[in-house]
Structure 1
């Protein structure tokens, strides 16, 4: 496989993950409502920082997660997402369209992209299963192969999240305050649901045996 082919493979595989609804997409929508189209690239930067750390670990030889770490990841990630969602819900009731363009601690997109990535258990599971296998395959062409694959992967994230934030930014001019707040509430509820799902899922086997 050539370097361009590896980059294309990384792009299309990355796109399938980026297109799937998840906490990072919700963070992109929420940030775009507050600060505009630049939230997409900035959320992606936070996501890339998280993935860069994992890529380093895998390249260094850590290619699997100990089974005992699964519940810890799910609990930590679930609680983080629930907290993130609750903060969104608390701020939605007083949110004003006139405040759009003003960045605050709750809407820092780089942090949002990083937090929603590392708090998503599926993020870890994918990278230490399918992702690690793909990275090792790309290393058949050396460091250049790994760089080609991961850059293609990140271009998919950047393209999709930027497209989403641009769409949200352009639609803000026709949003009423009520609809604007409703979108924020939906984002907050979605994050809470993701968090609860992760916590419940990891505890489901034990609950079924009670």
Structure 2
């Protein structure tokens, strides 16, 4: 495969993963509603900080990593990852319901708070790292669909890996920045009450995603289409 074909193949294949709704996208909506496109950019940076070493590890140790994630280690990652998503959802729901109970709904979107949700959302890079590294389906995507890309470049050297990854990662940045900025602008239209109602919805959606991760792994069931 020549480099031009590699670029277009990577873009086509990557879209199936980058644009799929999941916990990282929902977290980006929640954080983007406060910080706009910058929040999405920082989350994408955190995502990249985990993804680059993971891809390099796969490139050199694909069989070993596959065995780990399809076995007991994969089960542990699933449980920890789902637990993290559920914990994030509970923090978000708790903080949002607290604000909605405020008298007359006169609450500030950007006001200071000591809530765990706000403290966590103040570190979007960390959110990107955690929601990527503990997402079993992201890890397995690179072992299945994404593995085809690694096979294509297996004899082309590290330069090809760099070209492949740049062709892939810009989609992550573009998507997460777009999601975050769209959320921010929508929040400005609906005001504080609408903002916290949106956070309740996103928190509930994250809760469903967390439960769905466990059900798909251990019971082959899905709460989502």
TM-score relative to the length of structure 2? 0.82
- What are the residue-to-residue correspondences of 1:172-191 with 2, within 5 Å? 172-191=187-206
- Give the Cα–Cα distance (whole angstroms) in 2 for the partners of residues 131 and 119 of structure 1: 17
- Structure 1 residue 104, shift from structure 2 partner: 4.6
Task: Give the superposed CA RMSD.
Answer: 2.2
- What are the residue-to-residue correspondences of 1:195-206 with 2, within 5 Å? 195-204=210-219
Are residue 192 (structure 1) and residue 196 (structure 2) matched? no
SS state at 1:60 partner:
helix
- Residue 127 and residue 65 in structure 1: after superposition, are their counterparts in 2 closer, same or farther (change >3 A)? farther
Are residue 152 (structure 1) and residue 175 (structure 2) matched? no
Contact residue 28 and residue 40 of structure 2 kept, 8 A: yes
Tell me the matched-pair count. 205
Contact residue 18 and residue 175 of structure 2 kept, 8 A: yes
1:34-54 Cα shifts (integer Å, max 9, x gaps): 112211111111111121121
- Residue 179 and residue 26 in structure 1: after superposition, are their counterparts in 2 closer, same or farther (change >3 A)? same
Equivalent residue for 1:126, pick from 113, 116, 141:
141
Equivalent residue for 2:91, pick from 72, 76, 87:
87
Are residue 33 (structure 1) and residue 33 (structure 2) matched? yes
1:13-44 Cα shifts (integer Å, max 9, x gaps): 22221221101101111111111221111111
- Residue 182 and residue 98 in structure 1: after superposition, are their counterparts in 2 closer, same or farther (change >3 A)? closer
Deviating more after overlay: 158-167 vs 22-31: 158-167
TM-score relative to the length of structure 1? 0.87
